[in-house]
Structure 1
């Protein structure tokens, strides 16, 4: 094997590799000999089929595997001997074209190729004791607990049938059948039976629920609405429709107080025990929001701290992921991919900057984690895998097996855990001052 470095530009390292025909022929001959010893081919005694005959039958197939293995071994050797830290799988070109490949497959000529490795940048991570950040914190107030309890009471809301002939009011639950029509013709997905609808909940098309206020069981009103312009089903967006509705039952909400009965409904021994549990959950939510704010500030500080060349392949891969997600979300919402006041190309430029930021921070966090010997515990990975499996009821074993048997998928599951561990490590090295804020400020979403 002959290896010559042909180019070194920034993070890209290019090598020309020549695999001599003699070496390839020797590997082919060795494998043909192994096959000969086991061969049972009609017309020949077991293990006595001529090598030439076997070469005609299996030569190209075997040589294809030989070439693939030789290329993999050569690339691995280049990486090890040159101590390359590669970003993604290398790019391979065949300057000799198909003719050279065909000659190599028959062991009649040398096999050459050019391999390009894109490497990870080298940079000094430095120290972090000069970073000072504020961590927003908020106390859980009694009012927060009351609102949470009321929300739980609303979720456990019971309804009781109204007297015969009673008219529906806002907040009542109606059980209805309906058939939607466009220009007098039913449309796909526009019908439903025994559907429960709480008036004022806003779960149906705007204007639908309001027209059912005052209806009684047995009534058959015709509801006229216009689908919103941004309706997800494009064939219905902005169109006028009529719904033939049959009101089958009208029920009124039963008042559910914040009392011992509510606590027992949720499996608590007492209302006080339920309040303690609710407080604990709220404090966990507050702590999580506080951590996310601190993490965002820390990432911003790191992003402004480092400047180095980024691997084009990683940026392109990250951009493709986030742009593809943006396209899907835009399509579901029936909106153009271009953001307000921008062209599609300007929007793409914004997303490229996001991709570059993510790649830069990913490399920085990886380097910090490597320097500090940050590890992901097997228990943390198992907990994350269990949580992922729970997202697919009935398919838990299939999900578990998929991740356990797919190292790349498992790596994707490990990555966010590793990032959190690196953030925990950095939090011990920087200066953090707690700042008391309101609940609203703590949970206010940051602009991207």
Structure 2
């Protein structure tokens, strides 16, 4: 096997690999000789099948395996002998001349192919001792706990009928039967019996609850609504409909009781224990948001310290993932780029910069983690996988088997664990200043931060 480098431009490399016909013949003969002792063919005793006969029967398929093994060997040889770190899988190109390929598969001519690849950039890690970042810190207030308790008590409260002549008001619950039509025709999913509608909850189609305010038990009303453009049932999205709604009862929420009995209903020993659990849960949410903001500021600081050539294959891969999410979000919300105050070309340019940032930061974090010998144990991956499996009740085995049998999917479990450990390592080397902040300010601009952009690095890490 002869390997010759034919291109070295930036991060791109290309090699020409030649397998002489004599070597192809030697590899093929070796494989057929090994097969002779294993194959069973009628008319021949075990191990006595002539190699020439095997060649007539299996020569072409065995040669295909020989070529595939040679490609794998060539890729490994190129990487090992040149000390390369690949950005992506090598691209192998065979000759387009079919006669040339056919002759090589019969070991009557040399087989030549090219291996094109892109390598990871080499760069020095920047000094981060001068980096100072702010960690916003918010604390759960007693009023936050009380609001949550009130909401839980309301959800747990009994509903009581207001009587035959009572009028439904916002905050009441109306038990209804309804039949929906479009252009006079009933449609699938448009009917319901004994449906509980809480007026003011905004859980039904816009306009539906408002038109039931003032209804009495036994009364029938025609409710006119239009399904939202992004309604999950596409055949209904954006369409007008009429509902004949009959109120079977009007109910008001019972008295809110916040005591030990309420706590026991939620599996707690006492009201104080429930309050402690609520406070702990709310604080975890605040701490998680604080971590997100801290991490974003850290990545922003790192991004200013690095500028190097990026593997375009990784950029294109990242951009494709981000862009598909952007397009899907617009479609689901029935919006256009004009509605967002931009054009498709401007949006593409913006999200390409985002993709470049994510790839660059991913490579930086990967190298920092490698140099710091950051490791993610198999046990940590297993625990994270168990948490992921629990998100799919009833499908636990299928999800578990999918990840366990799919190395790339399992890598998606390991990657964020590695990234968080690297972030912790960097945080230990920079100056972190804690600043008290109100809960409202902590979550301000959360929608902007939720763009598929900033806070996480790229999967290639």
Tell me what 1:281 maps to: 281
Residues 82-161 of structure 1 mapped to structure 2, 5 A cutoff: 82-161=82-161
3-state SS, counterpart of residue 224 of structure 2: strand
Distance 2:42 2:232 in 1: 65
Tell me what 2:459 maps to: none
3-state SS, counterpart of residue 368 of structure 1: helix
Distance 1:44 1:382 in 2: 52
Tell me what 1:342 maps to: 342
TM-score normalised by the chain length of structure 2: 0.92
The answer to whether the aligner puts 1:65 opposite 2:65 as a matched pair is yes
3-state SS, counterpart of residue 220 of structure 2: coil
Residue 259 (structure 1) shift: 2.3
Unmatched 5+ residue regions in structure 2? 450-461
CA offsets per residue over residues 306-359 of structure 1, 9 Å max, x none?
000110010111111111122222222222356622221211111111111111
Unmatched 5+ residue regions in structure 1? none
How many residue pairs get aligned? The number is 448
- Higher mean C-alpha deviation, range 280-289 or range 199-208: 280-289
Change (3 A) 1:217 1:102: farther
Residues 312-323 of structure 1 mapped to structure 2, 5 A cutoff: 312-323=312-323
Residues 285-434 of structure 1 mapped to structure 2, 5 A cutoff: 285-336=285-336, 340-434=340-434
TM-score normalised by the chain length of structure 1: 0.95
CA offsets per residue over residues 174-205 of structure 1, 9 Å max, x none?
23232221211123332333322211101112
Are the aligned partners of 1:256 and 1:262 in contact in 2 as well (CA < 8 Å)?
no
Distance 2:44 2:437 in 1: 88
Change (3 A) 1:33 1:364: same
Distance 1:37 1:289 in 2: 65
Q: CA RMSD in A?
A: 1.9
Residues 160-179 of structure 1 mapped to structure 2, 5 A cutoff: 160-179=160-179
Tell me what 2:74 maps to: 74
Residues 150-299 of structure 1 mapped to structure 2, 5 A cutoff: 150-229=150-229, 231=231, 233=233, 235-299=235-299
Change (3 A) 1:349 1:232: farther
Residue 152 (structure 1) shift: 1.9
Are the aligned partners of 1:219 and 1:247 in contact in 2 as well (CA < 8 Å)?
yes
3-state SS, counterpart of residue 38 of structure 1: coil
CA offsets per residue over residues 41-65 of structure 1, 9 Å max, x none?
3344444333222212211111111
Distance 1:371 1:160 in 2: 66
CA offsets per residue over residues 264-321 of structure 1, 9 Å max, x none?
2212222112112222222222222211111110011111110001100101111111
Are the aligned partners of 1:37 and 1:47 in contact in 2 as well (CA < 8 Å)?
yes
3-state SS, counterpart of residue 369 of structure 1: helix
Are the aligned partners of 1:339 and 1:347 in contact in 2 as well (CA < 8 Å)?
no
Distance 1:121 1:157 in 2: 62
Distance 2:234 2:404 in 1: 40
Residue 251 (structure 1) shift: 2.3
Are the aligned partners of 2:303 and 2:357 in contact in 1 as well (CA < 8 Å)?
yes
CA offsets per residue over residues 243-267 of structure 1, 9 Å max, x none?
1223333322112233223222212
